[in-house]
């Protein structure tokens, strides 16, 4: 049993000289950038395409992009999910994309697409950080 654990720890080595915090922040700001810095080209491309597509589909469905609102618990949670999209969220807020209120039934699906894109981006950034620190083997 201990040899299996030792083999796993030896397999999970640092694969870059870049600071893991830089990889985490880059992965959060731009979908797939953390994996790109780790030279995981396929993962980076898949994450970039899927997260941007999911965010774009959410906007196309007239989904809401949340702003900070301490009055409603669900609004705060949705804002946290949206913020996970990094620069996509900033771009959406700067260009006033995303409806301020849900006006059609399908827009609720769009809102969920936007939130899930942000959450997926956070998971991807943490995955890149785990690879960079050696806690996870490719």
> What is the rounded distance in angstroms from the CA atom of residue 4 to the CA atom of residue 16?
24
Region 12-39 average pLDDT: 90
- Give 22's contacts (C-beta < 8 A, 6+ positions apart): 37
**Residue 2 — pLDDT band, cuts 50, 70, 90?**
low
Q: What is the mean pLDDT of residues 91-96?
A: 94
Q: Is residue 82 part of a domain?
A: yes
pLDDT at residue 7, as a whole number = 45
Q: Residue 91 falls within a domain, yes or no?
A: yes
Residue 74 within a domain: yes
- Whether pLDDT at 86 is above 70: yes
11 domain residue, yes or no:
no
Residue 128 forms part of a structural domain: yes
Domain count for the chain: 1
- Whether 3 is covered by a domain: the verdict is no
d(CA 138, CA 130): 9
State which residues form the domain around 107: 17-133
């Amino acid at each position: 049993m201990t040899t299996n654990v030792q083999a796993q720890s030896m397999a999970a080595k640092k694969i870059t000289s870049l600071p893991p915090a830089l990889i985490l922040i880059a992965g959060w700001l731009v979908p797939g950038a953390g994996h790109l810095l780790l030279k995981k080209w396929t993962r980076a491309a898949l994450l970039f395409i899927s997260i941007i597509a999911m965010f774009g589909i959410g906007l196309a469905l007239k989904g809401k992009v949340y702003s900070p609102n301490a009055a409603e618990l669900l609004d705060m949670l949705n804002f946290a999910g949206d913020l996970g999209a990094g620069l996509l969220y900033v771009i959406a807020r700067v260009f006033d994309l995303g409806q301020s209120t849900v006006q059609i039934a399908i827009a609720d699906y769009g809102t969920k697409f936007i939130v899930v894109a942000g959450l997926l981006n956070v998971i991807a950034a943490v995955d890149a950080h785990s690879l960079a620190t050696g806690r996870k083997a490719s």
